[in-house]
């Protein structure tokens, strides 16, 4: 069953802590994305990767970091520099850049 898997579904961060959100896809898509969603808001792009070992900052990259060592995986680290991390985080992929996006089921990050 092809798809995008995000884990965990819920995550709690203590002050000063870095946390990593997992995103795995078995769709053989080249491009992967991370979006942040706040209540009542549209999706805002954090980082995207069009190909393995390459990634670009989106509109709100500050306080976040990513890696793309494998085609299937695009983990997002929310660092302690992100002062307002509470949000719903969505990972997406597309067969290649500038194609339609398919989303995972999201991770809700909250601050303890």
Partner 1 sequence: GQQLNQSPQSMFIQEGEDVSMNCTSSSIFNTWLWYKQDPGEGPVLLIALYKAGELTSNGRLTAQFGITRKDSFLNISASIPSDVGIYFCAGRGNYGGSQGNLIFGKGTKLSVKP
b/e per residue, 4-37, with b = 16+ CB within 10 A?
Answer: bebeeeebebeeeeebebbbbbeeebbbbbbbbe
Q: Is 101 in the site for partner 1 (CB under 8 A)?
A: yes
Torsion of CA 13, 11, 79, 104, to 10 degrees: -170
Could you say which of 34, 48, 55, 64 contacts partner 1 (CB under 8 A)? 48
The first and second tokens of residue 10, run together, are 């819920």
- Residue 61 binds partner 1, judged by CB under 8 A: no
Question: In terms of CB distance, is 60 or 80 closer to partner 1?
Answer: 60
Residues in contact with partner 1, counted by CB under 8 A, come to a total of 27
Binding site for partner 1 (CB under 8 A): 4, 6, 33, 40-45, 48, 50, 56, 58-59, 88, 90, 92, 97-98, 100-106, 108
């Amino acid at each position: 069953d092809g798809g995008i898997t995000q884990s965990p579904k819920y995550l709690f961060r203590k002050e000063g802590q870095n946390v990593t959100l997992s995103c795995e896809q078995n769709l053989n898509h080249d491009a992967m994305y991370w979006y942040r969603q706040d209540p009542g808001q549209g999706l805002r792009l954090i980082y995207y990767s069009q190909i393995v070992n390459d990634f670009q900052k989106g509109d709100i990259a500050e306080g976040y970091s990513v890696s793309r060592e494998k085609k299937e995986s695009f983990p997002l680290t929310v660092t302690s520099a992100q002062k307002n991390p509470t949000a719903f985080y969505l990972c997406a992929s597309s067969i290649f850049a500038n194609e339609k996006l398919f989303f995972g089921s999201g991770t809700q990050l909250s601050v303890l």
